[in-house]
Amino acid sequence: MITKKQIIFELESLLSLRGLVEVYEEVAATQMQKVRGAVLQSRQFQEGLLAVFSRVKKAYLKQQKTAKLHRVSNGRVVAVFVAANSGLYGDIVDRVFDEFVEYVKKDKPDVVILGKLGVSMMEDKLPKFLYNYFDFSDKTVEQESFEMVIRYLIQFEKIVVFHGRFKTILSQDPSVTWVSGERLDQGEGGQEARVETDYLFEPSVDDVAKVFEGEILASSFEQTLHESQLAKFASRMLALDRSVDNIEKRVEAVRRQGRKINHRLFNRGQLATISGISLWGK
């Protein structure tokens, strides 16, 4: 039978844990608000740039017939999984990884993992798959780490990034972004829509393609990293808020137990008093 001392100890532990979780929740909320405005403002702009890049790429290949773009033309594809360095991010990292695993098993691309948590996930789900790992901060996009990753990625013709995407505070979804400009004009059933429009380029489609290829890729990749950070912070805040609710429910249950024990002890004391009075009366 649980004792009053145990009740007091558990209640104190729960209240301490609640305070700690609330602090983490406040930190997550602050981090989310810090990047939310910038990410949402640049999202539409970056998506527009990628759409234009896709059209420029198709127009270039159409006009040049057999020509390839300038960066690299080796046909190699790399899939990047933006993971995390720690836990407490809710389920968003796991959901992104599920889509990543499905794609990797089907298409067999080269693989890049960002974040320590991704290493353990790979060992668990894809133990025989070779991959390149880069340490990456959950909180900021450090320039040195970013440039190191970009230098590796540009050797691939096609680059696809799997990351979380913020919709609302209550909703974060897995997202797939082709930062190299492919698959942005897909129609129904995953088929690329045919581009019928012809464009005029000034000074030339060749020069425009060079600019887009050199500038847009890094910018779009950086946007996916910020998107991932925002989704993880929002998911963490939501998960911690649910934890606070669960702790509150447990605190109330423990307090009910405490009241029952107090009543039982009080009743026992009353019975002892009555018994004592009866003995004195005799």
Q: Decide if 156 is inside a domain.
A: yes
Task: Out of 25-39, 61-75, 101-115, 231-245, pick the least confident.
Answer: 61-75
Question: pLDDT category, 269, cuts 50, 70, 90?
Answer: low
pLDDT tens column, 212-239? 676 778 888 889 999 998 999 888 888 8
Q: Is 97 exposed, middle or buried (0-12, 13-18, 19+ CB in 10 A)?
A: buried
- 173-190: per-residue pLDDT in tens? 999 988 887 765 443 333
Is 255 a member of any domain?
no
Residue 22 domain-assigned?
no
pLDDT at 249 over 60: yes
Residue 151 sits in which domain range? 38-184+196-240
Q: Is residue 282 part of a domain?
A: no
> Within a 10 A sphere around the Cβ of 140, how many other Cβ atoms?
15
CA 24 to chain CA mean position, Å: 17
- List the CATH number of the domain containing 146: 3.40.1380.10
The count of structural domains within the chain is 1
Q: Is residue 71 part of a domain?
A: yes
Which positions ≥6 away from 90 have C-beta within 8 Å? 172, 235, 236, 238, 239
* Domain-embedded: residue 100: yes
| Token duo for residue 136 | 């990456």
Residue 29 lies in a domain: no
Angle, in degrees to the nearest 10, between helices 116-125 and 92-107: 50
Asked whether residue 257 is domain-assigned, the answer is: no
pLDDT tens-digit profile of 86-113?
Answer: 877 888 999 999 999 999 999 999 999 9
Phi, psi of 194 (to 5 degrees): -80, 130
